[in-house]
Structure 1
Amino acid sequence: MSHTRLPLLFLAFILSSLLFIAPMLASPEPPAQPVEVLAPLGLGEWMKQASHTGHPLRAIQFLDEQLGFAAGDGGALVRTIDGGVTWTPMNAGVANDILAIHFFDAQRGWIAGSQGMLRYTVDGGQSWREENLLFPGAFYALSFLAPDQGWVAGENGQLYHFDGQAWTQQPLPTSYDIYAIAFANDQIGWAAGDEGIILRTTNGGASWTIQTLGGADAFYGLAFANAQYGWAVGAGGVILATMDGGMNWRVQSNPADDDLRGVSMADRFTGWAVGDGGTALYTGDGGVTWLQDNPGVGFDLLAAAAPAPRQAWVAGDAGTIVRWQDPRPTPTPTPTFTPTPTST
């Protein structure tokens, strides 16, 4: 998308949204390895990166364009400090599947996953502390605003809040599995899961309201750019978007019908959704249009991270990690001048 088209795309985004205002019901560091350029043309340049694991990777997070983490089955956990040129295995101390991660920096972070596994580190993974919430099911999602403010959710509608000292269970008005949670601030947040359920809280999780139900067989990913603009992706390639904090959701057009497993937005215009069969969808206009790109892998893609509009990573089966980068030069803003008043 060129710089000069942005106002028109933004106007189209606003106008299309006004047409739909009714709520939807429905070990040691390995040597650096060269990246493999998979698709030099198209929307951008895809480069496969060596993750040093063959396990499916179900979560990926980048704090900036250099520092990132990915995790998955069998306790697989890897880290990069150079944008993925080198990925280093970390010892998570468990064999559980890691289904969700959240790191605050290179030292402090949380992992969650199967059999109620929930752990955190303050020394870059050299040691971990186990949090036992007496829950035997899977934790699928983590959302933290700060080290002393976070949530974890999972099977059977289980949701817990962390205040920096302890975890406390918060009630959800559903027993459906929750696959994704997102908080815009310490009061406003969303949860999504089985049977196409999306819920919203305005009081930090003390109570929740069902916003949609049945829009898809399940929603697996949530991303909010701020308290108003958000996206949910799920089974059958369904993509929903909201411009008003979830009061109203509308379907966005998608050129693929594969199940979508994750979504990440760099801002309210630019982001990626990924899914089965190597599906990768890009938007540069807030989802008014989603364009299908080819990352050059046939494996299911299970997670995405877009720390900046011109850079993203996707992860999935067989330890797949692929980086996308827009090779075009950043447009130079047109300078503006303010006339200097002349004295008379």
Structure 2
Amino acid sequence: MKALTLFLFLMVGFQGTFAQTGWFWQNPLPQGNHLRSILFIDDNTGWAVGDLGTTLKTTNGGVHWTNQASGTNADLFDVCFVDLNTGWVVGSSGTILKTTNGGTNWTSQTGGTTSRLSSLCFTDEDTGWVVGDGGVILKTTNGGLNWIKQTSGSVYELLSVYFTDSNIGFVVGTGNTILKTTNGGTQWTGQSPGGSTLCSVYFIDPNTGWITGTD
């Protein structure tokens, strides 16, 4: 996953601070760290995370960004929110953080691993998955209070996870890894390989999805 140091947004017909349409650069605070992931819960409210615990938030579509205190120096690789208040970030050394007030405060959760955690996906405020190095897949059914390790059958770096509902999900990573579950992760099965490193996966329904990676 490529590091981001600036933001690009597609704004069509935006009549505000920026009059132009198409893509334009948005610069958050000069925080000096690579930004690894971004998530918007609606047109205005979004978060970006990155190295050394960097967490940024906007409430006006990215015109202005504010720095939030994550309480960690770990590199953060992914962010997921299920509503305006409840969200998680994951990162290096097994870092899992949760907020229930939009990122004003973050609390650490215990996943039982020190592996780098690269991606997470929640289908509601209780049920979510985290993936990372060494084939690690963790699942929670109580908002992260407890995390249970699932058997992925992989030893590779798992880089991205996406669930269309509480049962059907997909994971991709290095070593041509594509995994699918139809029972919430109780069992994972390998799919036809793609490139040598598969970096991201996204589905719009249980049957239609896309994967990106290297040749």
Fold match, TM over 0.5? yes
Q: Distance in 2 between matches of 1:201 and 1:209?
A: 6
Tell me the residue number matched to 1:79: none
When residues 248 and 214 of structure 1 are mapped into structure 2, their CA distance, relative to the original with a 3 A threshold, is: closer
Tell me the residue number matched to 1:265: 163
Q: Distance in 2 between matches of 1:213 and 1:228?
A: 15
What letter matches 2:164 in structure 1?
A
Q: Distance in 2 between matches of 1:177 and 1:145?
A: 22
> Higher helix share goes to which structure?
1
**How big is each residue's C-alpha offset from its partner over 1:93-146, in whole Å with a ceiling of 9 and x where there is no partner?**
xxxx5x4xxxxxxxxxxxxx1xx2123231397331322421222110111101
Tell me the residue number matched to 1:130: 26
Runs of 4+ in 1 over 4 A off after TM superposition: none
Question: SS at 2:204's partner residue?
Answer: strand
**How big is each residue's C-alpha offset from its partner over 1:157-176, in whole Å with a ceiling of 9 and x where there is no partner?**
00011011521111011000
Matched, 1:310 2:210: no
Q: Distance in 2 between matches of 1:207 and 1:126?
A: 35
Contact 2:76 2:92 in 1 (8 A): yes
Q: Give the TM-score normalised by the residue count of structure 2.
A: 0.91
Question: SS at 1:146's partner residue?
Answer: coil
Contact 1:156 1:176 in 2 (8 A): yes
| Alignment counterpart, residue 173 of structure 1, candidates 55, 67, 71 | 71
Unaligned runs of 5+ in 2: 14-20
Higher relative contact order (CA 8 A, sep 6+): 1
Q: Distance in 2 between matches of 1:214 and 1:249?
A: 8
Contact 2:37 2:48 in 1 (8 A): yes
When residues 287 and 213 of structure 1 are mapped into structure 2, their CA distance, relative to the original with a 3 A threshold, is: closer
Matched, 1:284 2:201: no
Q: Distance in 1 between matches of 2:171 and 2:138?
A: 12
Contact 2:111 2:148 in 1 (8 A): no
What letter matches 1:317 in structure 2?
T
Q: Distance in 2 between matches of 1:262 and 1:127?
A: 25
Tell me the residue number matched to 1:119: 8
Question: SS at 2:175's partner residue?
Answer: helix
Unaligned runs of 5+ in 1: 1-57, 59-96, 100-112, 319-344
1:213 is displaced (CA, Å) by: 5.7
**How big is each residue's C-alpha offset from its partner over 1:292-325, in whole Å with a ceiling of 9 and x where there is no partner?**
1123x3411011001111222111113xxxxxxx
Number of aligned pairs?
206
When residues 213 and 228 of structure 1 are mapped into structure 2, their CA distance, relative to the original with a 3 A threshold, is: closer
User: Based on CA coordinates, which of the two structures has the bigger radius of gyration?
Assistant: 1
Greater mean deviation of Cα atoms: 185-194 or 307-316: 307-316
Question: SS at 1:305's partner residue?
Answer: strand
What letter matches 2:8 in structure 1?
R
Matched, 1:182 2:80: yes
Q: Distance in 2 between matches of 1:306 and 1:151?
A: 21
Contact 1:261 1:276 in 2 (8 A): yes
**Aligned counterparts, 1:67-82, within 5 A:** none
Contact 1:188 1:200 in 2 (8 A): yes
**How big is each residue's C-alpha offset from its partner over 1:150-205, in whole Å with a ceiling of 9 and x where there is no partner?**
00000100001101152111101100000011001111100000001101011110
Question: SS at 1:152's partner residue?
Answer: strand
Contact 1:189 1:204 in 2 (8 A): yes
What letter matches 1:244 in structure 2?
N
Q: Distance in 1 between matches of 2:78 and 2:195?
A: 25
**How big is each residue's C-alpha offset from its partner over 1:41-71, in whole Å with a ceiling of 9 and x where there is no partner?**
xxxxxxxxxxxxxxxxx4xxxxxxxxxxxxx
Contact 2:12 2:22 in 1 (8 A): yes
1:282 is displaced (CA, Å) by: 0.1
**Aligned counterparts, 1:44-59, within 5 A:** 58=1
Q: Distance in 2 between matches of 1:310 and 1:244?
A: 27
